[in-house]
Amino acid sequence: MDLGLKGKVAAVTGASVGIGLGVAEAFAREGAHVVMAARGEERLAKEADRIAGDHGVRALPVACDVATAGGAERLAAAARNTFGGADILVNNAGTGSNESIMEAPDEKWQAYWELHVMAAVRLARAFVPMMRERGGGAILHNASICAVQPLWYEPIYNVTKAALVMFSKNLANEVIKDNIRVNTVNPGLILTPDWIKTARQLTASAGGDWEAYLQTVADEHAPIKRFGTVDELADFFVFLCSDRASYSVGSTYHVDGGMLRTI
């Protein structure tokens, strides 16, 4: 299926590893140029060079922290100065948390609010005008199944991801008049380097069978009985940002192997 993305420009945050890297590469496979944002400059530059070489597109690394106003401005300026803007924005940067509500300080709540919510707000304000100038575009937010089915040990993550889903819906209603489509994806268990790292740490003192540990997690939570791959999720992201999904507006899609327990 030709997704019609050749020559388009896609900006992806959190793009140096895991889901963000997979999404950037999936766009590049479709012939789109990519603006890749992450905090780690060296790793980001290496991956951008590899993607450009492998797929014959331009891959622009932008080292910045999108959880700050300055970082969001830096990313938007790089897209405008290099490509004249962007057609697609994927807000992917984020990370899990681990705390109790009674013990977590205000500072931790604020840090996650800046990363999961305000980054999306600021980037919308920066990228929507550029998309409007280009005749339209697509914005996709990577939230989490935890936005609707919370895990007990990360209340801050659950709350801020839920807020991101609501922000996405409101933004969708506001900018569809500009031919800009906004949607959200709530992934379930996706096999990222962070999951593997955690599994290795948790099993180090008991023989190190991290794969068996991850299988127990999948058996407990996902009816499909396995983790999803980054590529499986990335392909869905790219489809939603293409004109093949032109009637998808303000929706939230679960890619979770059946993990969600409600309808």
What does the pLDDT look like over 116-145, one tens digit per residue? 999 999 999 999 999 999 999 999 999 999
- Whether the pLDDT of residue 147 is over 90: the answer is yes
How are strands ordered across the β-sheet holding 180-187? 59-63, 33-38, 9-13, 88-91, 137-142, 180-187, 252-255
* Distance, C-alpha 159 to centroid of its chain: 17
Extract the tokens encoding 138: 């697509």
pLDDT at 224: 98
Question: Band of the pLDDT at 263, cuts 50, 70, 90?
Answer: very high
Query: What does the DSSP assignment read for 113-134?
Result: HIIIIIHHHHHHHHHHHHHHHT
104 phi and psi angles, rounded to 5 deg: -70, 130
Percent of the chain exceeding pLDDT 70 equals 100
| Average pLDDT over every residue of 24-38 | 98
Rounded mean pLDDT, 21-49? 98
Answer whether residue 33 shows pLDDT above 90: yes
Q: What is the mean pLDDT of residues 13-42?
A: 98
Query: What band does 40 get if pLDDT is binned at 50, 70 and 90?
Result: very high
Domains by residue range for the chain, with CATH: 9-190+231-251 (3.40.50.720), 191-227 (no CATH)
CA distance 25 to 7: 14
DSSP 8-state secondary structure symbol assigned to residue 17:
S
| Type of residue found at 45 | A
pLDDT top residue among 1 and 191: 191
Phi first, then psi: what are they for 75, rounded to 5°? -65, -45
Q: What is the CA radius of gyration of the chain?
A: 18
Phi, then psi, of 78 in degrees rounded to 5 = -65, -40
pLDDT band at 1 (very low <50, low <70, confident <90, very high): confident
DSSP conformational letter for 181:
E
Give residue 219's pLDDT band: very low, low, confident or very high (50, 70, 90).
Answer: very high
Mean pLDDT of the region 223-231: 98
Q: Is the pLDDT of residue 39 over 90?
A: yes
| Backbone dihedral angles phi then psi of residue 139, each to the nearest 5 degrees | -125, 130
Instruction: Tell me the catalytic residues.
Output: 157
Q: What would the pLDDT profile of 183-212 be if each residue is shown by its tens digit?
A: 999 999 999 999 999 999 999 998 989 999
pLDDT of res. 229: 98
**Do residues 219 and 72 touch, judged by C-beta distance below 8 A?**
no
pTM over 0.75: yes
Angle at 23 between CA 19 and CA 27, to 5 degrees: 170
State how far the Cα of 158 lies from the Cα of 150, in Å rounded to an integer: 6
- Tokens 């959200």 belong to 184
* C-alpha to C-alpha distance for 186 and 165, rounded to whole angstroms: 9
**137-142/180-187 β-pairing:** parallel
pLDDT tens per residue across span 233-257 = 999 999 999 999 999 999 999 999 9
57, 92, 93 from 67: Cα distances, Å: 27, 12, 9
Mean pLDDT, residues 55-68 taken together:
98
